[in-house]
Structure 1
Amino acid sequence: MTSVVTSTPSAAEVAALVEPGSGPRVLGVPGQINLDYAATAPCARAAADAVAELLPWYASVHRGAGALSQRCTLEYERARQTVGDFVGARADDYVIFTRNTTDALNLLAHVVPAGTIVVTFAGEHHANLLPWRNTCRLPVPASPAEAIRSLYAALAELRRGGGTEEILVSVTGASNVTGELWPIRELAAAAKRFGARIAVDAAQLAPHVAVDIAELDVDFLALSGHKLYAPFGAGVLVGRSDWLDAAEPYLFGGGASARVGDTTSDVRWAQGPARHEAGTPNLLGAVALAAVCTELEAADRDRLEREEQELLARLRSGLAAIEGVAELRTFGADAPRLGIVSFAVAGRESAEITAALARGHDIGVRDGLFCAHPLARRLLTEAATREGWARPATTAIRASIGLGTTREHVTAFLSALTTILTTPPAP
């Protein structure tokens, strides 16, 4: 096995390296096993092809009179419609292109009306913990049912005495630490019962299962292209137009302004998505994301989900069979989840294990607290208690799968991990 990358493939060589598996194809490098999809998924061939096709035409978006600019403007707005259709956007929803989910949720935090109370859970990714100004943070629930009960109780308390403040519930669709699915439909019903709105962090959800914002009855949804096989720097916030039109622009500049007078106060801001997309937009990111959405829409999503669940079951059962390994979980062991597994190893440093996987076996996974520090620390402590360890691990290891992952990849990972854990660490 090679220990370092000694050369970089050309663009043409990489474009030809397509990993096996059903559904949309993703690019990869032979010999390298990527099990770090939850951080950044590989590039879909469709995204790369869409970018390559548009590059000769690349020009300004909006207001340009030339053929190149007109073509790019058309492609950008088509991408907006395609992404909106992919997540089931309603007729009056806006699709606003952002950099990623973090940027999208910060945009939402910027536009919520003054005094809005944001209800969220302590187990969220930092992107859904840190942007909010006026929060009611609920404890990490032990089950989906407890999450629903906890939200009902919190909203009832906030409305007690006739409280009329705006309330936004903001929750993850699937945990980036455990892959566990949250009961979004039921949480949305609870929010509506008390006149609250609900936003969903779909960064991990959208790459794995079909998401329909209207069917779920949620008000806002955020996702990242780089987790959805389109790593060209685009994400989206999709949702209700009224808050977005009422707020000042997220960024001040060209595109967000409909008219600028001779003084700084004499500005009329644009309405619609342009209000929050100041500056030259990320055309290639939007087009790449739309290309993946189109290909996923045409794919057999049920089949892809079944195949992923089979791989996930193999991965989880294999880890459970290795002595000294404990899976992290918020809910019960049988709770529905996506292709993400985090685990701790008794008496071993996660960084040492992940480095050994990379150097000796060309397998890429992740170690740390996964930008969800409060949740990860809690789950590490719970795992140590459950397993009877003397002390919890300080960080965890995460293996995550998706399009292009095969049984051979999972088998190789489990075999390599077993070898590393049965070999005494170097003094």
Structure 2
Amino acid sequence: MSTAVLPRPAGPDAAGSAAPVGAAPAGTVPAHGPAADAPLLPVVGAGLTVPLVTGATVPYAQLDTAASTPALAAVAARVAEVLPLYASVHRGAGYLSQVSTALYESARDRIAAFVGARDSDVCVVTRNTTDALAVLAGCVPAGAGVLVLDAEHHADLLPWQRRGDATVLATPATAAETLARLRAELGAERYALLAVTGASNVTGEALPLAEVVALAHQSGTRVVVDGAQLVPHRRFSLADSGADWVAFSGHKLYAPFGAGALVGRRDWLDAGPAYLAGGGAVAEVTAAGARWLAAPHRHEGGSPNVLGAVALATACDALGALPDGALDAHERALRERLVAGLAGLPGVRVLRIWPDSGEPTGVVGFTVEGADPGLLAAYLSAEHGIGLRDGRFCAHPLLARLGVPGGALRASVGVGTTAADVDRLLAGLAAYLADGPSVAYAVVDGRWQPADDPRPLAALAGVDPGALARGAGCGGPAGHP
């Protein structure tokens, strides 16, 4: 363990006084409309207060939705309603088994409808986006080439690298150059699949998806979209975009109950090996072998996550029922407020992959000159009650390409975020630049935290304190995965 008392940041950026908690730095926040003043949909935990290292308590500002979203209130209510009806699915003769089977298969249909599935498409219920992409990776024909950019989240990079037949393209400096590079590569080599993000988990940016799909299909290449950061923020349709598959997660779609989905073309999924060998995936088993079912059941061996599927379908229904443009307007107001506020703070750089990309989602990666991202994230949490992400965001090649291999900060908004949350972050950053931390911070197991933290974190979580310190994961600092 190392301990340090962090001084006020040096240079002209350190001048000035701290803004109070809950207020934005003067002159940095633009006017905003009603879309940002209140949550777009009610979420569980709204108004929750958290303790500060100073002994005060404040409402929690959740600005880490790109990692995991809170549950929609409608989702929590639906899970509570369905829980007494839960039973084994597909093979049970009992009435509750029949009810649970109907709930599960209905959920599958609604999840598929949410992403504009075609009549011939299939929906495999998975654990999350990583799981969904791994299902597809196991079904891509052997020896078939896969093309992917190095700007992808690890979930859409590692499965293809692991196959040993992936080509990873360095991402050019502009979106136009990236499209030209993809066109040239697809024209020069034969690829079975192009894997592409629907929206970056670092910057919220994306290539024009319909154009990417069109140029891939011109070369006979199929397209899978990593929709983890797309479908919670934008309307998406397999039928309209022409994409062959989309993968996404419930925990990023306001349904954190352990379900995700892979939706798209059936043929490879019907022909590929079963993802998880076990009951429910087979039509017949003998001592010599097995006859496997077609997708989706082929890839859903074992007892399925009925409650997770119901939760995900309920979230899909709620987001799908929003008026056209409502989600875009809500996030746009919040993102514009945040980016404008960050631009008014000295030494802050907002990360962008391409200067000519279209409108990003509500995910903003940024750095503060001279500030350790991990320390700043710990400070914002301990002294301002703000939750955001620091590290490399499971996108190590992209962070290196953006010139911040040691990590950055990321604030992300969602349907439960308000302008007040954004203002809290801007005020906290201004206070750090003006006065620095008010307490000493220490690095414990690679993570910054207050050196003498009076908050009852471990007791509140009900876990061993050491387990909390070991939870850096792939979002951790450069020395961590």
* Residue of 28, 33, 42 corresponding to 1:25: 42
Does structure 2 retain, via aligned residues, the 8 Å contact 1:201–1:223? Answer: yes
- In structure 1, the residue matched to 2:248 is 223
1:247 and 2:247 equivalent? Answer: no
1:120 and 2:166 equivalent? Answer: no
> Structure 2 matches for 1:131-210, cutoff 5 A?
131-132=159-160, 133=163, 134-159=165-190, 167-210=192-235
In 1, the alpha carbon distance for the partners of 2:108 and 2:89 equals 13
* Residue of 154, 158, 162 corresponding to 1:130: 158
The one-letter code sitting in structure 1 at the alignment partner of 2:322 is A
Query: Alpha-carbon deviation of 1:65?
Result: 0.6
In 2, the alpha carbon distance for the partners of 1:424 and 1:406 equals 26
In 2, the alpha carbon distance for the partners of 1:304 and 1:238 equals 23
* Residue of 65, 85, 98 corresponding to 2:113: 85
1:399 and 2:390 equivalent? Answer: no
The one-letter code sitting in structure 1 at the alignment partner of 2:229 is Q
In 1, the alpha carbon distance for the partners of 2:384 and 2:407 equals 21
Does structure 2 retain, via aligned residues, the 8 Å contact 1:200–1:220? Answer: yes
In 1, the alpha carbon distance for the partners of 2:388 and 2:324 equals 25
- In structure 2, the residue matched to 1:388 is none
The one-letter code sitting in structure 2 at the alignment partner of 1:353 is L
1:422 and 2:453 equivalent? Answer: no
1:358 and 2:381 equivalent? Answer: yes
Taking only the aligned residue pairs, the percentage that are identical comes to 49
When normalised by structure 1's length, the TM-score is 0.89
In 2, the alpha carbon distance for the partners of 1:54 and 1:282 equals 13
Query: Alpha-carbon deviation of 1:91?
Result: 1.1
Query: Alpha-carbon deviation of 1:23?
Result: 3.6
* Residue of 425, 430, 435 corresponding to 1:413: 425
- In structure 2, the residue matched to 1:52 is 80
Query: Alpha-carbon deviation of 1:141?
Result: 2.4
- In structure 2, the residue matched to 1:11 is none
- In structure 2, the residue matched to 1:344 is 367
In 2, the alpha carbon distance for the partners of 1:280 and 1:421 equals 52
Query: Alpha-carbon deviation of 1:424?
Result: 3.7
When normalised by structure 2's length, the TM-score is 0.79
1:307 and 2:338 equivalent? Answer: no
Q: Does the residue aligned with 1:317 lie in a helix, a strand or coil? A: helix
CA pair 319-121 structure 1, distance change in 2 beyond 3 A: same
The one-letter code sitting in structure 2 at the alignment partner of 1:170 is A
Q: Does the residue aligned with 1:131 lie in a helix, a strand or coil? A: helix
Q: Does the residue aligned with 1:60 lie in a helix, a strand or coil? A: coil
Structure showing greater relative contact order (alpha-carbon pairs closer than 8 Å, 6 or more residues apart): 2
In 2, the alpha carbon distance for the partners of 1:193 and 1:421 equals 51
Unaligned 5+ segments in structure 1 are 1-18, 160-165, 382-391
> C-alpha offsets along residues 75-105 of structure 1, whole Å, 9 cap, x if unaligned?
0000000001100111111100000000000
In 2, the alpha carbon distance for the partners of 1:123 and 1:181 equals 10
In 1, the alpha carbon distance for the partners of 2:180 and 2:279 equals 46
What is the aligned length? 390
Does structure 1 retain, via aligned residues, the 8 Å contact 2:192–2:221? Answer: yes
- In structure 1, the residue matched to 2:456 is none
> C-alpha offsets along residues 194-252 of structure 1, whole Å, 9 cap, x if unaligned?
01100000000000011101100000100000000000000000111000001110110
CA pair 402-269 structure 1, distance change in 2 beyond 3 A: same
Does structure 2 retain, via aligned residues, the 8 Å contact 1:347–1:393? Answer: no
RMSD: 1.5
> C-alpha offsets along residues 266-310 of structure 1, whole Å, 9 cap, x if unaligned?
x11011200000000000100000001111111114022112101
